[in-house]
Amino acid sequence: MDGIFSGLEKLGLGNIGGGDLFEDPKKKEEAVKKEEPTKKLNLAKEEDFLFEKKYKCPVCDGSFEAKTVRTGKVRMKSVDIDLRPNYDEVDQSKYDVIACPDCGYAALGRYFNTINKYQVDDIRVKICMNYKRLDYVGDTYTYEHARNLYQLALANAVVKKAKNSEKAYICLKTAWVIRGETQRLDQAEPDFAKKKATNDAQEKELLANALNGFIMARQSEEFPIAGMDATTLDYLIAALAVETEKYDIASKMVSELLTSRTANSRIKDKARLLKDMIAEKTGSAG
């Protein structure tokens, strides 16, 4: 092949000649396979789905940042019967509480800025004056830290005399956090059984509180309640009743949903699943 390129050396390109003019595709593929380094599998980490969002505290006017899940980045893989979403990448419930690290005011995101002057005064006296700052260092929240935030949010809700629905919602989401922790416990650990039993008992107690709070909210508050319309709340009450073995309440709510003219097909399908669960648990054919 040197003859074809004879004279290129005059142009300073004498090194081009030599070898085959045409490339054998089979040889090329083999060469690529030999040279291509083994690609490492980059597994997504929880911190990859988080960012620091800035907030201004409505109680102390201080500015701070809190870890927040990037919307649209996580993929929901399933939903529990009590509407808890399950994601592959991150347990989103851990990051639903916004807490001011300076004064101790904390609330679920949807309620953080909905606070009046009298509530601010009560929180400043009963929360801020006694609050001990607890700085947190870490790329993600541990379940222990998430629980602490939810406890702080519930304490604030009690002090500011929040609606029953807000307190019930905090209880529900705290139960979700505990469930998430339980799902991720290492069964090989020697204290697994004890930890799981403790978590299960705490979760059930919180679900029972959520049930009672939502029932009272349904009787006294205007919709939407905690962002839910009437049929969604009725379904949630039925689901919580099943989880806490209050099958009389569950059956009543399911019956109302199945005969409702306003409940959509999705809610009715979920209600039918609850009906089957009730029948299985109680041995009833109804």
Residue spans of the chain under pLDDT 70: 1-43, 284-286
**CA 159/CA 137 separation, integer angstroms:** 28
SS3 state at 12: coil
User: 3-state SS string over 106-149?
Assistant: EEEHHHCCCCCHHHHHHHHHHHHCCCCCCCCCCCCCCHHHHHHH
pTM to 2 decimal places: 0.83
Q: What is the pLDDT of residue 75?
A: 86
Task: Report which DSSP code applies to 21.
Answer: S
For residue 77, give the H/E element and its range: strand 76-79
Per residue in 256-269, pLDDT tens?
Answer: 999 999 999 999 99
- Going by C-alpha positions, the residue among 195, 159, 153, 196 that lies closest to residue 172 is 153
Q: What is the pLDDT of residue 39?
A: 46
Phi-psi category of residue 178: left, alpha or beta, with phi > 0 → left and psi -120 to 50 → alpha: alpha
Strands 106-108 and 97-99: antiparallel
Torsion angle defined by CA atoms of residues 216, 222, 223 and 228, in that order, rounded to the nearest 10 degrees: -30
Q: What is the pLDDT of residue 38?
A: 45
Sole residue written with tokens 């709340």: 233
What are the residue boundaries of the structural domains of the chain, listed by start?
46-228
Decide: 257 and 267 in contact? Cβ < 8 Å: yes
Q: What is the pLDDT of residue 26?
A: 64
Q: Look up residue 204 and give its two tokens.
A: 């059930």
